[in-house]
């Protein structure tokens, strides 16, 4: 028999990884999934609110999203960094490492 993945299994695999979350009212957020519970309450860090065209509207830091507001959660992958932006191409850096002040990390 083939074991089917359940939604919480996919959330568990997405822990400490970038995700996009859409909530009721049409707002979308991109950040790192730091934690969740059985009600799908989510803790996100390094959060950016996205406009309709997926450009960054504002930087929010750390947020808690109540599970009954979640429309969907989508795991994402980070794009490779631009040429000449340092060593370790394709690896994510910790908070503030390798970035000049005011410069945001590319996704």
DSSP E strands, the chain: 18-23, 28-36, 42-50, 56-65, 70-75
pLDDT of residue 25: 93
Which bin fits 38, alpha (ψ -120 to 50), beta or left (φ > 0)? alpha
Q: Which domains does the chain have, with CATH numbers?
A: 7-75 (2.30.30.100)
Q: What is the pTM of this model?
A: 0.66
- For tokens 């959060």, what's the residue? 47
Residue 26 tokens read as 């049409």
pLDDT of residue 94: 47
Q: What is the pLDDT along the chain (107 residues), one digit of tens a residue?
A: 678 888 788 889 999 999 999 999 999 999 999 999 989 999 999 999 999 887 888 888 999 999 999 999 999 875 554 444 444 444 444 444 444 444 444 45
pLDDT of residue 58: 85
- Separation CA 2–CA 62 (nearest Å): 38
- Separation CA 84–CA 67 (nearest Å): 40
- For tokens 């707002």, what's the residue? 27
pLDDT of residue 102: 47
pLDDT of residue 83: 46
pLDDT of residue 55: 85
């Amino acid at each position: 028999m083939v074991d089917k993945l359940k939604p919480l299994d996919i959330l568990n695999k997405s822990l400490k990884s970038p995700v996009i979350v859409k909530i009721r009212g049409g707002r979308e957020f991109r950040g790192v999934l730091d934690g969740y519970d059985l009600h799908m309450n989510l803790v996100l860090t390094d959060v950016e609110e996205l406009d309709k065209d997926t450009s960054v509207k504002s930087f929010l830091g750390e947020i808690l999203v109540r599970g009954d507001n979640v429309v969907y959660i989508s795991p994402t992958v980070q794009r490779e960094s631009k040429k000449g932006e340092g060593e370790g191409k394709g690896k994510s850096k910790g908070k503030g490492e390798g970035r000049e002040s005011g410069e945001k990390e590319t996704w």
